[in-house]
A and B are shown apart, each in its own frame.
Chain A
Amino acid sequence: MKIWNSVRSLFSGKRAFVVVISIGLIIGMVFMFAGSKAVHYTSTDEYCFSCHVHPHAEQSWKLSPHYDNKSGVIVHCVECHLPPEGHGMLYAKAKHGAKDVYGYLFKDSADYKWAAKRKLEMAKKYTYVESCVRCHKNLFPKTLTVAGENAHLNYLTSKEDVSCLNCHLNVGHFDPNAKHEHDANFGVNITQNTQIYAEATPVTSFANFTEKVPGTGLTFDMVAIPAGQFIMGSSKKEPFHKPDESPMHPVKVSRFFMAKIEVSWDEYLEFFKATSSQGRKEAEVNKDVDAISGPTPPWGAPDQGWGKGSRPAITMTWKAANTYCQWLSKVTGKKYRLPTEAEWEYAARGGTKTPYFFAGSPKDYTSEGFFKKIFGADTTTINSYVAYKANSMSQTVEPASVKANAFGLKNMLGNVYEFCSDYYSPTAYAAYKKGAVNPKGPKRGKEHVIRGGSFKSDARDVRSAARDFTKTTEWLVTDPQMPKSVWWYSDCVDIGFRVVCEVDENVK
């Protein structure tokens, strides 16, 4: 009773506070001590080898330069397979520990694909660059080779993360068959492409292929788009629906190939080199049907100084785009052309009926309107698929910067408007017969359909159903020539095109 009282007195009045704190401290210290002991105990080589009994672990480690070296320094398991303290060591330990325990309890080591686990991609998951750098502070020892210098300079200056393991894959675990692979791309001029293709790629089956342009070193990817039916246009309920997008109507489309990306500057400039004429006269007088006369030189810099390469070629007229297709058909022996509007929308939707081929409502993504301007919007999803006003920095983007749709096509929405072969009419859809098959739009017209919106467009105009059309006069206002160019729009910087290729009947 007396004891009980004295214990109780500890927890009453002012004392209680001190006592609780002290007990907490003691428990904490014990816990920390035990924790640290546990971390220490489970971080020894012996502990690791108690589970990792496969020969790739201990045996290959003992043959590697991290164990078997003249300096006598032995690098232990955790020094590579856990990041150093202060770099998320405990978190990594918990993560790997949980995985190990799960594997120990539920998996059979015979089932592991050991060869795959020793590949670079896997090795990167279980080896930490911070760990390498912690020990290897001097990346430029006196004896470093030129290849090593280049690789280490690349590591120091590259904007992307370069893993030490890219080159030093087998230093922790010895592999008698390993070759030292240094960064093969470094020091190589990537623009150099000396292989000139003699023949176009033969297409024998209905599958994606990479076209080779004969007489050039150029290739581009074509995607096989299977035949199907879809509902073209949008309903009045779709946010930002415009009258020319209705009535909605079912359309059947035959199979075709479509270019994975918009025609790039690399591609367009091959055409320009091959067909361009110095003066206008030659282009107009040339009546030789076998020869394709191409664009005259542009006045300004049609790439706007944004760079060429794989960025979409822009500012060419519809006629120029159409002529490109004729040239491409001639050199490859295939039937390349601009897509019809129906083909374009079918390809852009990739089987979806929603405003975009990805999730989300145009209402959420638009930056127009009073509230949107104040509060902004969560545009993570649209940003990953579309280059539009909100994320483009007012210029075209590289195709690599966005994700593809379900067919594997990139930049169908956004980046640049794309020419279609159809003439534009706001009432085109009403004129379609029910159950139209491969419709081609009005027979006559002045302007052509353009689709997909551009890097200048708001989210409301990059919907799959949104339509627009060329504005020839407006886009040639500042062209100083008389008559004005038929090859280049002087006042439109966000238009380009994408080619489709017809499927030969013999292709199964």
Chain B
Amino acid sequence: MENNKGLNRRRFLESTALASIGLLGASVAISGCKKANNAKILGLPPILKAAPKGKKLRAGLVGVGNRGTGAALNFISSGPDLHIVALADVFQDKVDAGRERFAKLKMEIPAENCFSGFDAYKKLMALPDVDVVILATPPQFRPEHLKEAVLQNKHVFMEKPVAVDPVGIRSIIASGKKAEAIGLNIVTGTQRRHQEDYIETYKQVANGAIGKLVSARAFWNQNHVWFRTREEGWDDMTYMVRNWNNFCWLCGDHILDTHIHNIDVINWFVGRPPVSAVGYGGRARRITGDQYDFFSVDFDYGDGFFSHSMCREIDNCANNTGEFIMGTEGYTNCVNTIWNLDGSVKWKFEYPKDENGNETSSLKIPAYVQEHMHLVHSIRTGEYVNEAETTANSTLTAIMGRTSAYTGKKVTWEEIFKSDMDLGPEKIEFGSVDMQFEVPVPGTAHKA
């Protein structure tokens, strides 16, 4: 008996020792491979086929322009039982046109839910039946609108950029935090963050596919964009708001308006906003408004990481949009491909195939819709989302670059975050506007 016991014990010890050696071996083998972080750990949004079923959601659209109407349609198409029930715009003709468009799609919006004027947003947000607001006005108005939305307990989808100056940015961040405290979801229109190919590439990079990130480039170079010629009977304010894309106080210049997408991707992949910017820019071709038509900015992210950012709106030049990130073990275009240092392809995102079995070059669900699915998903499942601060930080990154270009000075994050720069007029109302629209010239004049 005693012997048996001893033997058993010895055997037991042997077998456990063997097992533990085995386990050890297995764990060595596992740790030999890189442990991949999953989407949740990386804070990535869900990729959905459609927003889940749930309670009826009624949205009000603030800013019934082309993008606003588009965003509203994206919202409706993102899942079941989603409705547009109210419209607000500065101009009555925009509201009317919008109503007509929705009516054609068999969505009647009652007249008492349609508002115009600079306070239209307030009236819309006061409607108790509105659960979600879509903010798609020129970015100058966004901080005020978000503030009111949070005050009135509405979930929010808002377009990028989220403000045009640091005062607005701080307001957005604070409103975002107020929303978080009471559980209101906020999704912003930086759609690359909701785009499956970008997300899959991000996962690869976050899990070490290109090694340590070394440097980045970001571009938004395109032809000139739209402008409105002043019509008879338009006062200053009417003209500027209708032509908002050409005035810095309304749109923040094109480094905010368009290039923010690329800047946002670099911030996202690097995981932090830059600490300072040195940039320049100028105006060579534009004829309306007060903006530059090119920018070139060197963003310093600290720890030796820099990103060169450029954007241009001039016809017949070399054009491209996108992002590139260089790493110690490869590089990526951030959207679908990772290359080895020698230029060979290391990884490629697989796009869905068409009926003939050929790979397409785009996703089945556009990112514009995917972001609304995310919002609806969050409202209906309780999986909270709030992108206000991230997008505010990316907008502020662009503002830092713009300020550096306008002044010729190096601008730090600290300075711009605390800056009292406020581009808007004291009072926003129709009529003549007493504002100077000189195109900024950096530095000081040369001497003869």
Contact = CB atoms under 8 A, between A and B. Distances in A.
Q: Do A and B bind each other?
A: yes
Contacts of B167: 187
A153 B420 contact: no
Given A144-B174, A153-B170, A277 B447 contact: yes
Interface stretch (B123-131, B177-185, B249-257, B328-336): B177-185
Interface string B135-163: 00000000000000011000000000000
Given A187-B420, A277-B447, A140 B177 contact: yes
B177 A139 contact: yes
A288 to B, nearest CB: 16
B391 to A, nearest CB: 16
A278 to B, nearest CB: 5
B14 interface: no
A138 B174 CA distance: 12
Contacts of B182: 142
Interface in A43-98: none
DSSP majority for the A interface?
loop
DSSP majority for the B interface?
helix
B418 A142 contact: no
Contacts of B178: 140-142, 144
A268 B410 CA distance: 18
Contacts, number: 52
A191 B411 CA distance: 11
Interface in B396-431: 410, 415, 417-421
Given A157-B417, A186-B418, A278-B447, A150 B181 contact: no
Contacts of B150: 142
Contacts of A150: 170, 174
Contact of B419 (A187, A278, A307): A187
A189 B174 contact: no
B174 A140 contact: yes
B417 A146 contact: no
B444 interface: yes
Nearest to B409: A191
A310 interface: no
Contacts of A311: none
A296 B403 CA distance: 28
A153 B173 contact: yes
Which of B181, B415, B444, B446 counts the most A-chain CB atoms under 10 A from its CB? B181
Interface in A219-270: none
Contact of A142 (B151, B170, B420, B447): B151
A278 B181 contact: no
Given A149-B170, A149-B174, A191-B415, A278 B446 contact: yes
B448 interface: yes
B243 interface: no
Contacts of B174: 140, 144, 146, 149-150, 152-153
A152 B178 CA distance: 12
B171 interface: yes
A43 to B, nearest CB: 31
A4 to B, nearest CB: 43
Contact of A276 (B170, B180, B447, B448): B447
A437 B418 CA distance: 53
A373 interface: no
Contacts of B418: 154, 185-188
Interface residues of A, number: 25
Interface residues of B, number: 23
A307 B447 contact: no
Interface string A159-203: 000000000000000000000000001111111000000000000
Contacts of B170: 149-150, 153, 187
A75 B308 CA distance: 53
A224 B448 CA distance: 41
A134 interface: no
Given A140-B178, A278-B448, A149 B171 contact: yes
B178 to A, nearest CB: 5
Contacts of A138: 181
Interface string A337-363: 000000000000000000000000000
B420 A189 contact: yes
A86 B418 CA distance: 34
B410 A307 contact: yes
A273 B447 CA distance: 10
Nearest to B410: A307
Which of B167, B180, B417, B418 counts the most A-chain CB atoms under 10 A from its CB? B418
Contacts of A189: 415, 419-421
Interface string B60-81: 0000000000000000000000
A140 B181 contact: yes
Contacts of A187: 167, 170, 418-420
B181 A141 contact: yes
Contacts of B151: 142
A186 B421 CA distance: 12
B177 to A, nearest CB: 4
Contacts of A191: 415
Nearest to B447: A278
Interface string A416-460: 000000000000000000000000000000000000000000000
Contacts of B420: 187-189
Contacts of B421: 189
Interface in B286-325: none
Contacts of A152: 174
A56 B114 CA distance: 57
Nearest to B413: A157
Contacts of B177: 139-140
Which of B150, B173, B415 counts the most A-chain CB atoms under 10 A from its CB? B173
A186 B182 CA distance: 26
A144 B179 CA distance: 12
A108 B165 CA distance: 56
A146 B167 CA distance: 9
B444 A273 contact: yes
A144 B175 CA distance: 9
B448 A146 contact: no
A188 B167 CA distance: 11
A190 B446 CA distance: 26
A24 B250 CA distance: 75
A344 B151 CA distance: 64
Contacts of A149: 170-171, 173-174
A190 B448 CA distance: 32
B404 to A, nearest CB: 13
Contact of A146 (B171, B181, B410): B171
A277 B446 CA distance: 9
Contacts of B415: 189-191
Contacts of A186: 418
B143 to A, nearest CB: 10
Interface string A270-305: 000100111000000000000000000000000000
A140 B147 CA distance: 12
Contacts of B180: 140
B274 to A, nearest CB: 15
A139 B177 CA distance: 8
A380 B410 CA distance: 33
Interface in A374-425: none
A186 to B, nearest CB: 6
Interface string B107-141: 00000000000000000000000000000000000
Shortest Cβ-Cβ A-B pairs, 4 listed: A149-B174, A140-B177, A140-B178, A138-B181
Interface of B: 150-151, 167, 170-171, 173-174, 177-178, 180-182, 410, 415, 417-421, 444, 446-448
Given A140-B181, A307-B410, 20 more contacts: A138-B181, A141-B178, A142-B178, A142-B182, A144-B174, A144-B178, A149-B171, A149-B173, A149-B174, A152-B174, A153-B170, A186-B418, A187-B167, A187-B170, A188-B418, A188-B420, A189-B420, A189-B421, A191-B415, A273-B444
12 contacts: A140-B180, A142-B181, A142-B182, A146-B174, A149-B170, A154-B418, A187-B418, A187-B420, A188-B418, A188-B420, A190-B415, A273-B444
